[in-house]
Homo-oligomer: A and B are copies of this chain.
Amino acid sequence: MVNVGVLGATGMVGQRFIQLLDSHPDFNLTSLTASSRSAGKRYEDATTWYLDDSMPESVKDIVVTDTNVDEVSYDVDILFSSLPTETAAIVEPKFAKNYIVASNASAMRMEKDVPLVIPEVNHEFLDLIEIQQKNRGWDGFIVTNPNCSTIALTLTLKPIYDNFNIKKVYVSTMQAVSGAGYSGVSSMAIIDNLIPYIGSEEEKMESETLQLLGSIENGKISNANFRISASCHRVAVIDGHTEAVFVELEDNANIGDIKTKMSNFKSLPQELDLYSAPKNPIIIKEEDDRPQPRLDRNSSNGMGVTVGRLRKDIISNNSFKYVLVGHNTIRGAAGASILNAELINKTIL
């Protein structure tokens, strides 16, 4: 068992980390940090628990430490981070001197020597770790996972990218409110309404996707070579991002082939049989009216992405379209960092 901790443990994603780590066979959760306001309190006293499943007994008595205090030393190998961007930018590098930081924060994602990884998509980017440690003189290191909407999209594009020539991708999202944190979206803003804007989300989807599908050689990443455009919207859904995806290939699109490649898609996490890895990263639904966030977000314990309405697109012979649903705080956040850590634990530690 590897001892682990969670940085920013009282927030929405922090709670998902705790929920997912509760019965983990390889990771033993021993440390929790939060802001100074919570420091010194038992986790149960410091936290308003938001999830449907109740707070695991095992964390209630853990005394929360202050994320920002340097002197604390943690008896852990891995620290999961669900810190706000600004805090992450400051403290993650400090922690990386001694610990492995598996981060869901966006602060370090675009650093040239910090791997941005989805284990099924670009596990080879972990090669950057050695460079990172050398560059920065750290004993630990930082590994990051992408933005929630990017992860779901990129997982479904991966078998297409590997087997066909993608020319363009248009994606229009309908994202759950949990993606903005507990207080991120007011009820006044979303009842009988939707918000056609999520700050920086489109930019993240447009840049991260191309990097994730790119290649790495001698520590240098070459982005994938196609065009992508995103339009991001917030809807009245608790968990589960839905995305309408339009793909133009360079060549003729054969729906049968595409479907086969998507449903058969497996990668390293499946080969290594990592604990959180879904048996099939992509689940294809044939019903007209699926996927739906409430019915499909929990597929494969929230780690699978469900694809439906896969169909030819009238716009050209080379085009097709589909709809996907992925759980934004599991596959798209806490579960993504944990899968990264499982991969590191199995292949590097």
Residues in chain A within 8 A of chain B (CB atoms): 12, 49-54, 168, 170, 172, 174, 177-178, 182-197, 199, 206, 227-229, 231, 233, 235-238, 242, 244, 246, 288-295, 298-299, 308-309, 313-316, 319, 321, 323
- A235 and B235 CA atoms in complex are apart in Å by 7
Q: How far is the CB of A183 from chain B (nearest CB, A)?
A: 5
Q: Which of B186, B193, B231, B308 contacts A182 (CB 8 A)?
A: B186
User: Which B residues touch A244, using CB under 8 A?
Assistant: 172, 196, 231, 233
Is A188 touching B182 in the complex (CB atoms < 8 A)? yes
- A189 and B289 CA atoms in complex are apart in Å by 10
User: Which B residues touch A192, using CB under 8 A?
Assistant: 191-192, 236-238, 293-294
User: Which B residues touch A52, using CB under 8 A?
Assistant: 294-295, 298
The 7 closest A-B pairs by CB, nearest first: A172-B172, A193-B294, A229-B315, A231-B244, A192-B192, A196-B323, A172-B244
- A244 and B321 CA atoms in complex are apart in Å by 15
Q: Which of B12, B170, B196 contacts A246 (CB 8 A)?
A: B170
Given A229-B314, A246-B231, A316-B227, A186 contacting B187 (CB threshold 8 A): yes
Given A188-B182, A231-B246, A246-B231, A193 contacting B295 (CB threshold 8 A): yes
Is B228 touching A315 in the complex (CB atoms < 8 A)? yes
Is B174 touching A235 in the complex (CB atoms < 8 A)? yes
Q: How far is the CB of A18 from chain B (nearest CB, A)?
A: 16
Is B314 touching A196 in the complex (CB atoms < 8 A)? no
